[in-house]
Amino acid sequence: MQAQIRPVSQSPFQPAWWLKHAHLQTIFAKYLSPKQRVSTQAEMFSLPDGDEIQLNWLTNTVSDDQAPLLILLHGLAGDINSHYIQAMLAQCQQLNWPAVLMHFRGCNGAPNKLPRAYHSGDTADAGLVISEVKRRYPNRSLVAVGYSLGGNVLLKYCGEQAEQNPLAAAVAVCPPLSLAACAKRINSGASKLYQRYLLGRLKRSTLLKLQQFADFPLPLTPQQVQGFSSIEQFDEHYTAPIHGFLNAQDYYQKASGKAFLRQIGIPTLIIHAKDDPFLSDAVIPATHELNQHIHYELTSGGGHVGFVYGSVLQPKFWLNQRIPQFIIEQLIK
């Protein structure tokens, strides 16, 4: 008997009445949420091409072998200090779940060793880290949680792995499953404010690379980099060519996670807010693009990695409850 495919479901989450607007949800979560500084231990993880990335391991957890180990993947220009990473690490600490954050190349505060960086379809590094964590902890149930760009990377990885996935479950929050549509969305209206912030960070890291490598492999000048006015333009002239794509559209087509959803073979939760200012409705899959393993939850509000509810004096972050709840439902039955 063929398993039934779950259609996209409407989540019961309701944003706080005082943060109804998507931009308020997004901004409050990033800038105004309570700052949590969770203690972690850094490890430099060597890659086969001579580069390295930083892993940050949660410390001060005393868990039994039945507790899942979470592998966290941050979003574009994110790092250990990202509010959603700190919040999830704090939640893991409270639950006594071990966890580790994987920084994408060059995101740990220091330039990586090669001209290349990372991108939304870059599953190789994540795959190496997941395999290494599984090697070190063969008896643990591994669960990966990816946010935004990290969510797209995670879903693409899970689709590529299909039934051979070493992960026991996966969670993707606000993944840009249709990259071309998302590049246009963030280059329109008020969303340009977020694009300006992200593009500024991308420009700074690229300018450092131009200084770092005298024989930089792309014909880019600092003036050209400074002149980029959109994420799509940055992807056209840097992300795509430095990572072997023909152009931005070729990169978007090959790296978008939506095409990989049907091959996923493990329990997977995808969370997306209908009012996300980073994502367009094009990221929402049709039922035929899903399979029986995927739980796709669409909320009416929540912004981009916001999902704040509760009172003004006691704001709460729904992701901190929903993600562990899903993991417990799937693994600790």
Residues labelled as active-site residues: 148, 276, 304
Torsion sign, CA atoms 303, 308, 311, 314: negative
Amino acid, single-letter form, for residue 71: I
Nearest to 119 by CA among 213, 220, 256, 22: 256
Produce one character per residue of 98-129: b if its CB has 16 or more CB atoms within 10 Å, e if not. bbbbbbbbbbbeebbebbbbbbbbbbebbebb
Contacts of 63 (CB under 8 A, 6+ apart): 96, 97, 98
3-state secondary structure of 125: helix
Whole-angstrom distance, CA of residue 74 vs CA of residue 167: 17
Identify whether the C-beta of residue 41 lies closer than 8 Å to the C-beta of residue 99.
Answer: no
Whole-angstrom distance, CA of residue 55 vs CA of residue 103: 6
Q: What is the dihedral of CA 295, 15, 182, 165, to 10 degrees?
A: -30
